[in-house]
Amino acid sequence: MSLTTCTVHVTTKQERNIFISGELAKALRLSKSKQLQLQVGSQSVTLPARYIKKAGLHLYLPQSVIASIKLPRLGPCLASSGNGKEIRLGPVIGVLTNTTGTTAGPFGSRTPFIRSIMQPGERKSYHVAFSPKDVNWQQGTVSGYLLLPEGGWVRKTVPLPDVVYNRLPSRKAEKMESTEIFKQRFVKRNIPLFNWGFFDKWDVYRLLENDPVFKFVPESVLNPTAMQIKELLENHKFIYLKPTAGSLGIGIYRITYSQGRGYFVRYRRSGKNVLLRFNKFDGLVKMLGVNRGKLNNYVIQQGIRLIEIDSCPIDFRFHMTKNGNNEWVVAAIGAKKAGKGSVTTHLRNGGQLMTAEQALKQVYGGRSESILTKMKETSIELAKAIEHNYNHPLGELGFDLGIDQNEQTWMFEANAKPGRSIFKHPGLKQQDKASLANVYDHCVYLSRFRARRDS
């Protein structure tokens, strides 16, 4: 297996040959065979090979060949060869998402994000972003959007990708049977597709139930009855109620019981933090609509007394990625301080973003470094465990982690398609780039452009 970079040119020569510079043939350890197979994504063609005297790593193709294999563009790319008789160009990296149908902003408000995914591989690989309706399985092609060097977009038909990074944004669309069937078609063709779908909170709970990392997950119950709410409140003093398929803190309640004073419920309504008090448990049950099915698809969870700064709880977003060696790494950490009176630390609910170093130093002083190291170890353990218990490849995860007053780490939530709001912090610009570079490297790994250690 050999891997290098090369530059692809068009030749004006009419014969259907591949012209390869001597240096490229050497770098790819080509067997000097008369025929070479050229592969780009799912397309391939076998042609006579001509070795030419030219310095550098170059490949020349006639226009007719470029058109027939649907080469996404000319210029630099990675080239690999497994047996010396074939050359793979690419990889073709597919970003699965929703498209608007215009080249001006093909992904609407997510256009800058999709661009940032493509940038690390801009001069090394072929990224194409497409939606499910853009695939032609018979022809083995996708018609999607490619990023131009000047920053604009072009719609083009290219080969089916070597790997697919799933960034479909809608939970609802992702759950449809047609989407599931669509994604399975990549699996059947041996095209790895990573970040299969959104996680529900309860799915993650079940996934880890029999794993040693379960100790990091607060006790939870799905679709709780009034009795179960009471029981959990008795055992834990306060609890969280969260929609299992929720995000952004929407629909979350925090309930506290205080002897002699009753039940306190905090939540957010119309952009404001609300606090209600009930003398009796029955009043609370009525307000929550427990017996009217209002808590269907809710998870109740043991409340964790988080460490605080200025009397506001803080928690952490660990942005995990896999790298080019298929290892999990902590790509970035953001600390989030809750807004006054808010039950969550989300920035949209008045939360404040800090670096983990800043936050932990304020709480633990000189011990902050060792605490952060331990949290990082825990996050890697959690990522490995989720991957181990899940039946699809994962390349990225976002954990909401908290530390309680006894220094124990807890995981509130694992996101399979993590947002990137922590990267707004000016101190995390480098991590922002590094996390995207890791995802790109991992795509190259999954495309089998490099020799793998584990296969």
Q: Give the footprint of Mg ion on this chain (CB under 5 A).
A: 400, 413
For residue 344, the minimal CB distance to ligand ADP (Å) is: 4
- DSSP characters over 205-238: HHHHTTSGGGGGS--EEES--HHHHHHHHHHHSE
Of residues 118 and 428, the one with the C-beta less far from ligand ADP: 428
Q: 122-181: which residues touch ligand ADP (CB under 6 A)?
A: none
96 binds, among Mg ion, ligand ADP, none (CB under 5 to 8 A by kind): none
**Radius of gyration (Cα) for the chain, nearest Å?**
26
Alpha-carbon distance of 99 to 96, in angstroms, equals 9
Q: Which residues pair with 4 in a beta bridge?
A: 79
Q: Quick check: 82 binds ligand ADP (CB under 6 A)?
A: no
Among 42, 125, 344, 355, binds ligand ADP (CB under 6 A): 344
Rounded CA gap, 401 and 420, in Å? 16
Of 67, 74, 176, 248, the one binding ligand ADP (CB under 6 A) is: 248
- 3-class secondary-structure state, position 334: strand
220 binds, among Mg ion, ligand ADP, none (CB under 5 to 8 A by kind): none
Q: What would the two tokens of residue 299 be?
A: 């998870």
Part in contact with ligand ADP (CB under 6 A); list of ranges 63-71, 103-111, 296-304, 365-373: 296-304
Facing residues of 409 across strands?
Answer: 403
- Rounded to whole angstroms, the Cα distance separating 242 from 163 reads 34
- φ, ψ of residue 306 in degrees (nearest 5): -75, 155
Which region among 112-120, 297-305, 422-430, 437-445 touches ligand ADP (by CB under 6 A)? 297-305
358 touches ligand ADP (CB under 6 A): no
Residues in contact with ligand ADP, total (CB under 6 A)? 20
Task: Choose from Mg ion, ligand ADP, none: what does 344 bind? Cβ within 5-8 Å by kind.
Answer: ligand ADP
Helices 368-389/356-364 angle, 10° precision = 130
Least CB distance from residue 399 to Mg ion, whole Å? 9
**Binding flag, residue 247, ligand ADP (CB under 6 A):** yes
Q: Say whether 405 sits in a helix, a strand or coil.
A: coil
* Residue 234 CB-half CA count within 13 A: 7
Regarding 398 and contact with ligand ADP (CB under 6 A), the answer is no
224: contact with ligand ADP by CB under 6 A: no
Residues of this chain that interact with ligand ADP (CB under 6 A) are 218, 240, 242, 246-249, 252, 301-304, 306, 315, 344-345, 400, 402, 412-413
